[in-house]
Structure 1
Amino acid sequence: MLQKLSRPAVKLVERYLPDPYIFVLLLTLVAALAAMLFEQQSPLAVMRYWGDGFWGLLAFSMQMLLVLVTGFMLASSPPVKRLLDALAGLARSPGSAIVLVTLVSLAASWINWGFGLVIGALFAKALARRIRVDYRLLIASAYSGFVVWHGGLAGSIPLTIATPGHFSEAQIGIIPTSQTIFSLYNLLIVGILFVVMPLINRWMLPEERESVYVEPSQLAEPDSAAPTGPPRPADRLENSTLLSWLVGIPGLVYLIHYFVFAGGGLNLNSVNFLFLSLAIVLHRTPRSLLTSLQEAIKGGAGIVIQFPFYAGIMGIMMQSGLAQSLSEMFVAIASADTLPFWSFISAGVVNLFVPSGGGQWAVQAPVMLPAAQALGADVARVAMGVAWGDAWTNLLQPFWALPVLAIAGLNAKDIMGFCLIQLVVTGVIIGLGLTFF
Structure 2
Amino acid sequence: MLTKAAKPLVKLVDRYLPDPYIFVLLLTLVVMISAVVAEQKTPLDVISYWGDGFWALLSFSMQMLLVLVAGFMLASSPPIKKLLDAIAGFAKSAPQAIILVTLVSLAASWINWGFGLVVGALFAKALARKLRVDYRLLVASAYSGFVVWHGGLAGSIPLTIATAGHFAEAQIGIIPTSDTIFASFNLLLVLILFVVMPLVNRFMLPEDKDSIYIDPKALEDVSSEESNTGHAPNAMMRPADKLENSRLLGWSVGGAGLVYLGYYFAVQGGSLNLNLVNFLFLFLAIVLHQTPRSLLLSLNEAIKGGAGIVIQFPFYAGIMAVMMQSGLAQSISEGFVAIASAESLPFWSFISAGIVNIFVPSGGGQWAVQAPIMLPAAEALGADVARVAMAVAWGDAWTNLIQPFWALPVLAIAGLKARDIMGFCLMQLIITGVIISIALSWF
Aligned to 1:48: 48
Identity of paired residues, percent?
Answer: 76
Aligned: 1:418 with 2:424: yes
Letter in 2 for 1:353: F
Aligned to 2:108: 108
Tell me the CA shift for residue 257 of structure 1: 1.3
CA distance in 2, matches of 1:228, 1:199: 48
Aligned to 2:230: 228
What's the secondary structure of 2:404's corresponding residue?
A: coil
Tell me the CA shift for residue 279 of structure 1: 0.7
Aligned: 1:323 with 2:329: yes
Aligned to 1:262: 268
CA distance in 2, matches of 1:98, 1:227: 37
Aligned to 1:209: 209
Q: Out of 223-232 and 412-421, give the one that drifted further.
A: 223-232
Tell me the CA shift for residue 41 of structure 1: 0.2
CA distance in 2, matches of 1:117, 1:131: 21
Aligned: 1:343 with 2:345: no
Aligned to 1:72: 72
Aligned: 1:307 with 2:309: no
Letter in 2 for 1:286: P
What's the secondary structure of 1:336's corresponding residue?
A: coil
Aligned: 1:292 with 2:298: yes
Aligned to 2:180: 180
Letter in 1 for 2:246: S
Tell me the CA shift for residue 226 of structure 1: 2.4
Aligned to 2:163: 163
CA distance in 2, matches of 1:361, 1:164: 16
Aligned to 1:276: 282
CA distance in 2, matches of 1:141, 1:319: 36
Cα offsets for 1:126-175 (capped at 9, x unmatched): 00000000000000000000000000000000000000000000000000
User: What are the residue-to-residue correspondences of 1:115-154 with 2, within 5 Å?
Assistant: 115-154=115-154
User: What are the residue-to-residue correspondences of 1:185-196 with 2, within 5 Å?
Assistant: 185-196=185-196
Aligned to 1:36: 36
Tell me the CA shift for residue 239 of structure 1: 1.2
Q: 1:361 aligns with which of 362, 367, 371?
A: 367
Aligned to 1:16: 16
Structure 1 residue ranges, 4+ long, deviating more than 6 angstroms after superposition: none
CA distance in 2, matches of 1:158, 1:287: 42
Letter in 1 for 2:351: I
TM-score scaled to structure 2, two decimals?
Answer: 0.98
CA distance in 1, matches of 2:202, 2:354: 25
CA distance in 1, matches of 2:106, 2:260: 28
What's the secondary structure of 2:228's corresponding residue?
A: coil
Letter in 1 for 2:193: L
CA distance in 2, matches of 1:280, 1:390: 34
Letter in 2 for 1:159: L
The aligned length equals 437
Structure 1 unaligned spans of 5+: none
CA distance in 1, matches of 2:176, 2:120: 30
Cα offsets for 1:53-96 (capped at 9, x unmatched): 00000000000000000011111111111110000000000000
What's the secondary structure of 1:225's corresponding residue?
A: helix
CA distance in 2, matches of 1:229, 1:432: 63
What's the secondary structure of 2:389's corresponding residue?
A: helix
What's the secondary structure of 2:130's corresponding residue?
A: coil
Tell me the CA shift for residue 358 of structure 1: 0.3
Tell me the CA shift for residue 227 of structure 1: 5.2
Aligned: 1:7 with 2:2: no
Letter in 2 for 1:18: P
Tell me the CA shift for residue 263 of structure 1: 1.9
TM-score scaled to structure 1, two decimals?
Answer: 0.99
CA distance in 2, matches of 1:181, 1:261: 25
What's the secondary structure of 1:352's corresponding residue?
A: helix
Structure 2 unaligned spans of 5+: none
CA distance in 1, matches of 2:37, 2:273: 39
Letter in 2 for 1:17: L
CA distance in 1, matches of 2:240, 2:415: 34
CA distance in 2, matches of 1:222, 1:242: 21
What's the secondary structure of 2:133's corresponding residue?
A: coil
Aligned to 2:442: 436
Tell me the CA shift for residue 253 of structure 1: 1.0
Cα offsets for 1:199-237 (capped at 9, x unmatched): 000000000000000000100112333253653221111
CA distance in 2, matches of 1:358, 1:225: 41
CA distance in 2, matches of 1:436, 1:259: 38
CA distance in 2, matches of 1:349, 1:229: 56
Aligned to 1:370: 376
Tell me the CA shift for residue 327 of structure 1: 0.3
CA RMSD of aligned residues (A): 0.8
